[in-house]
A = this chain, B = another copy of it.
Amino acid sequence: MNKEAVQITTKSRLSSEERQGEIIRVAVELAAEKGVDSVTTQDMAAAMHLTQGAIFRHFATKDDIWVAVIEWIRERLMKILDKAAANATDPLDAIERMFLAHIAFISKHPAIPRLLFSELLHKKNSKLHQLIQGIISGYEAKITGLLEAGKAQFMVPADLDTKSAAVLYIGMIQGLVMQSSIFGGKRSLQQQAEKTFPIYLYGIKEITSVV
């Protein structure tokens, strides 16, 4: 933070690459504060003490900024999830570690679920839609794969519908996010997450019959 602050105050002109990174950072920050679709290019410029027109030196359109933001999220999220899964002892442990890592990531950047589930980004821009769809489906496939691996190790019943279990997994994250979003930071997201996950875990472990 110190380093960046010094850079900002001393160095008035940044390279386009540096500036693009800062625009992304500011966009994420503002999206967390006031919602994705109410962030204007003027807001971004003001947040980094720049004129609004300067934004368009580095991005052709505003949509391009959101594309870059989503790509930034994808890279960071995937790296964090892979890192969390790498330390796991078994598939179910991997799922739990990924879950907690994801929750921690969201706690740091509250705008992320807002961005991924924003209707604005889904409806208007098809590239954004495809990008987000890719992230979600890739995530889902990762969970499904771990659950199938769990089946192979007899940690999870063979008749578990892994696809549905993955949907429930992602829904659990969404539910927790909405919970903390609506009711403020009263109850910490992480605390609630740790209490909710065991219920999910028992759901996928103790199933004994197909419906």
Chain A residues near B (Cβ < 8 Å): 34-38, 114, 117-120, 122-124, 132-133, 136-137, 160-161, 163-165, 167-176, 178-179, 181-183, 192, 194-196, 198-208, 210-211
The distance in angstroms between the C-alpha atoms of A76 and B9, with both chains bound, is 55
A207 closest partner in B (C-beta): B202
Q: Ordered nearest first, which 10 A-B pairs have the shortest CB separation?
A: A171-B175, A203-B203, A206-B206, A35-B119, A164-B196, A171-B171, A174-B174, A164-B195, A35-B123, A199-B203
The distance in angstroms between the C-alpha atoms of A201 and B208, with both chains bound, is 12
A38 closest partner in B (C-beta): B123
A190 CB, min distance to chain B CBs, angstroms? 13
The distance in angstroms between the C-alpha atoms of A120 and B203, with both chains bound, is 34
The distance in angstroms between the C-alpha atoms of A120 and B182, with both chains bound, is 13
* Contact between chains at B178 and A117 (CB < 8 Å): yes
**Contact with A167, one of B35, B169, B192 (Cβ below 8 angstroms):** B192
* Contact between chains at A199 and B119 (CB < 8 Å): no
With A136-B182, A174-B175 in contact, is A199–B164 under 8 Å at CB?
yes
Residues of B within 8 A of A182 (CB): 122, 132-133, 136-137
